[in-house]
Amino acid sequence: MIKRLASGPYLFWLIMFIIVPLLMVFGYSIVQTDSSGNLSVSFSNFARAFDPIYITVLGRSLKIALEATAICLLMGYPMAMILAKMNVKYRTFAVMMFVVPMWMNFLLRTYAWMTILGKNGVLNGILSFFGLPQVQFLYSEGAVLLGMVYNFLPFMVLPIYTVLMKMDSSLIEAAEDLGGNKVTVFSKVILPLSIPGVLSGVSMVFMPAVSTFVISNLLYGGQYMLIGNLIEQQYLVVNDWNFGSAVAMILMALILISMAVMNKVGGDNPEDRGTGLW
Amino acid sequence: MVGKWLKRLYTILMFGFLYAPIAVLAIFSFNDSKSTAKWGGFTFDWYKSLFQNDLIMRSLYYTILVAIIASAISTLIGTFAAFGLYYMKPLKQKVLLNVNSLPILNPDIVTGISLMTLFVALNIKLGLITMILAHVTFCIPYVVLSVLPKFKQMPSEMLEAAMDLGATPWYAFRKVIYPEIKPGIITGALIAFTLSIDDFVISFFNTGSGVSNLSIAIYSMARRGIKPEINALSTLMFITVLILLLILNKRTKIEEI
Amino acid sequence: MKRALAILLMIVLVGSLFTGCKKEDQVVLNVYNWGDYIDEDIFDTFEEETGIKVNYETYATNEEMYTKIKKGGTQYDIAIPSDYMIEKMIKEDLVEPLDLTKIPNYANIDDRFKNLDFDPNNEYSVPYFWGTVGIIYNTNLISDPIDSWSVLWDAKYANQFTMVDSQRDSIMVALKKLGYSMNTKSVDELEAAKQALIEQKPLVLAYVGDNVKDMLISEEAAMAVVWSGEASNVIQEYDNFEYVLPKEGSNIWFDNIVIPKGAKNIDAAHEFINFLCRGDIGFKNADYVGYATCNTETMKLLDPALMGTTYAYPDDSLLSNFEIFQDPGDFITEYDRIWTEIKAK
């Protein structure tokens, strides 16, 4: 009984504030207003979204978000392991230190990178101190990637850390006792058991990365259109909510599909995941 | 031994990466020039004008108010949701978890627009209330995702065992389950709080009538170049958070002893 | 931990109670304006004089403001859109008609700024500031004279200049360079502008909106397409900048004060507009924001050195090819398509 009651408010919230509003957006996406203001059901918004120009935008967004996720995973996993194995005296402090930068404003954190990467920024200052030529760091794809990794890294580290922390250390000891070397213990025991955390981390990094528009605007100077910029432009600049909704729906569908794939890959047999995309 | 030093080096590098931009903001908050690239001497002026800036101070108040209320509500709802979800039939759980992921997977802007459409349709005046509702909506899923893995790692018979031994469900939750999932709850609450403080897009669409958070204020001011007052503000915020953290850390240690 | 959270919550709740029960009978005026586009000290003066409190909120683009007001849910008593947006809002019945008899200081407004095409009889709007779009450049970094949009297509300046991240303004630059009207409704002309901007894209350092002044001051960019007030701010602080109005012509814009539909305090809003039109208040604002005033009384208080400068009060002869943006109506979808295609490339 209590088990059902516990999720009651949650169910209400899901329906009221997630499902109903999304149905409204879906409604927008399949409606077209003609010049005299008449509404009609139409798929022209979707047809327009499959124009090669917009397909390019989508491909670019997916590519950079995948890169950011991969880098976060490569950087974040070892960090999560170090944190999980850290002496209890320092661990809480270290984990908190990981969260603190997130308490600073997102726009500010991105803006700070502009002062570091800029033509006369800190990094170029260091270069010229050593007599090296200036480099155009800012307004490049690399800068956008860096901004994504910087902003989303803690979202990768924290879930993995949470799972690693709860891992039964006797399993690892048993594996070691049975003669497994460090690599085997890691690949056969630790990694498979940490998959739930990795999946949480991956979704927490990939999703904001694929939909961001602030980072690309600030660090690539608005020349670089990602899917988020496209949707933002439709909603804020042209006020074409119908087309914007259609693009949003397509993005949603793509993401739901990758989610389903992830669930399938992650859910069945964790040990066979070596060749998985993630 | 080499491994240990490698670990230390890696940790130092990671923290360096995380804190370098904050250090830059802090240094430039004392810069006696409006530029963020040139050093014009040391000054406290930006801190003075920060406290005189009504817009920033008001936005700061709303940012913190919304973050605390939204993270508290979402942690509460999310924790019990994870509890309910864990004992659900797999299929139902899967469906709900997919719905749960929607606000995470969706572009913020879609969540923002969809909520705004809802509020406008329901004729709720956009302002503080709608901003809190919106924040709770995008925070809950993160709490669920942080707490649920804790349930999954917990031996599944624990609740039954406790209840067989005569514990009321509430007592069993408090004494048996809560200690197991506590790290997940704390992680979830922290993520909710930071997300709320950080949010720009969703707030932007779901507030109005004079209520704005820090992100919106910064965005509006940024039209004419970011002002060093904001550097000063982030430095102060950082110091506050750091002090809170030190206190928290000390308390945790005492509890552990 | 629990106790700490409880205490924190208490503080917040008590705090919100206090702000909640602020004197209920006091009229609160919701002002919705561009960020940093007013001297906020004048709100105190206004409250002292009238007892009306100002609740201030800001936006970054005309389109943001339009979206909020159009879709409803909020209530504002004052907004300050630009020309073409006012035209659009009048068309869509989003602004309240003004009662000019309640705004005696309207007489202070220079006749040049009255009865413009977007609001022929000033039934809905009162002029606030005006300005132009032009090129600002750093004379330390660029020695050749600049007088034409064509420099923005010169490979010599590759990665040294920025464009505006605003579709109307950037397309305007290309249209003007090609000798077309910035309000064109010809698909061919727009296509030509698109090709020009795509060709230009590799040379552009960035499309910026928010931070152009910082980029100029820090020498990140040597040259930029900017609004005149931004140039005014930079030039008054640094000697080594110059603002030019390109010979092909450019955009001249007007930001007017309106009362959005659904405003609750219409009388107080009129009182506020009248207050903004006062010479001394206009001067405070002009001094703070750097744009050009539409107020004759304010003009008298200004530093005479500003007269005739390109960035503040340019000579009329320089403005011969200048145009005002018009609301393109449904044709906006073409502009959007072009702009999306440029950016997506």
Give the C-alpha separation, C99 to C199, whole Å. Answer: 50
C230/B37 Cβ within 8 A: no
Q: What are the phi and psi torsion angles at B247 (to 5°)?
A: -60, -45
* Mean pLDDT value across residues C296-306: 91
| Domains of chain A (ranges, CATH numbers) | 1-42 (no CATH), 53-275 (1.10.3720.10)
**Nearest chain A alpha carbon to B116:** A21
Q: Is A118 on the interface with B (CB under 8 A)?
A: yes
Question: pLDDT digits over C22-68, tens only?
Answer: 445 678 899 999 877 899 899 999 999 999 999 888 777 787 788 77
Give the C-alpha separation, C329 to C315, whole Å. Answer: 32
What residue spans define the domains of chain B?
A: 56-226, 229-257
Q: Could you tell me which residues come within 8 angstroms of residue B208 by beta carbon, excluding any fewer than 6 positions away?
A: B125, B126, B127, C57, C68, C73, C74, C75
Q: How many pairs of residues across A and B have Cβ atoms under 8 Å apart?
A: 244
* Mean pLDDT value across residues C256-279: 94
Question: pLDDT digits over C219-266, tens only?
Answer: 889 999 999 988 998 998 899 999 999 999 999 999 999 999 989 899
Neighboring chain A residues of B191 at a CB cutoff of 8 Å: 155, 158
User: What is the least distance, in Å, from the CA of A231 to any CA of chain C?
Assistant: 11
B224/C213 Cβ within 8 A: yes
pLDDT band at C20 (very low <50, low <70, confident <90, very high): very low
Which residues of chain B fall short of a pLDDT of 50?
Answer: 254-257
Q: Is B165 on the interface with A (CB under 8 A)?
A: no
Per-residue pLDDT, C342:
87
User: What is the least distance, in Å, from the CA of C106 to any CA of chain B?
Assistant: 27
Asked if pLDDT for residue A214 goes beyond 50, the answer is yes
Amino acid at B98: N
Token representation of residue C345: 């490339």
Q: Is C140 on the interface with A (CB under 8 A)?
A: no
User: What is the least distance, in Å, from the CA of C32 to any CA of chain B?
Assistant: 8
Question: pLDDT digits over B136-190, tens only?
Answer: 999 999 999 888 888 888 877 777 788 788 888 778 778 888 888 888 898 899 8
Neighboring chain A residues of C224 at a CB cutoff of 8 Å: none
Per-residue pLDDT, B241:
75
Asked if pLDDT for residue C17 goes beyond 60, the answer is no
Mean of pLDDT over chain C: 87
Q: Which of A54, A9, A115 is nearest to A244 (CA)?
A: A54
The boundaries of every CATH 3.40.190.10 domain in chain C are 24-130+253-307, 131-252+318-344
Question: pLDDT digits over C116-149, tens only?
Answer: 999 999 999 999 999 999 999 999 999 998 999 9
CB atoms within 10 A of CB C249: 21
Per-residue pLDDT, B158:
76
**Closest CB to A21 among B78, B96, B114:** B114
pTM: 0.79
CATH superfamily, with its number, for domain C131-252+318-344? Periplasmic binding protein-like II (3.40.190.10)
Looking at the domain C24-130+253-307, which fold is it?
D-Maltodextrin-Binding Protein; domain 2 (3.40.190)
**Nearest chain C alpha carbon to B121:** C73
Per-residue pLDDT, C87:
94
Q: Which of A7, A147, A167 is nearest to A80 (CA)?
A: A167
Does domain B56-226 sit in CATH 3.90.480.20? no
- Subunit partners of chain B (3 or more CB pairs within 8 A): A, C
- Subunit partners of chain C (3 or more CB pairs within 8 A): A, B
Neighboring chain C residues of B55 at a CB cutoff of 8 Å: 40, 56, 58
The angle formed by the CA atoms of residues B99, B102 and B104, to the nearest 5 degrees, is 130
B145/A200 Cβ within 8 A: yes
Give the C-alpha separation, A111 to B24, whole Å. Answer: 11
A138/C344 Cβ within 8 A: no
pLDDT band at C308 (very low <50, low <70, confident <90, very high): confident
Asked if pLDDT for residue C77 goes beyond 90, the answer is yes
pLDDT band at A33 (very low <50, low <70, confident <90, very high): confident
Per cent of chain C over pLDDT 90 is 60
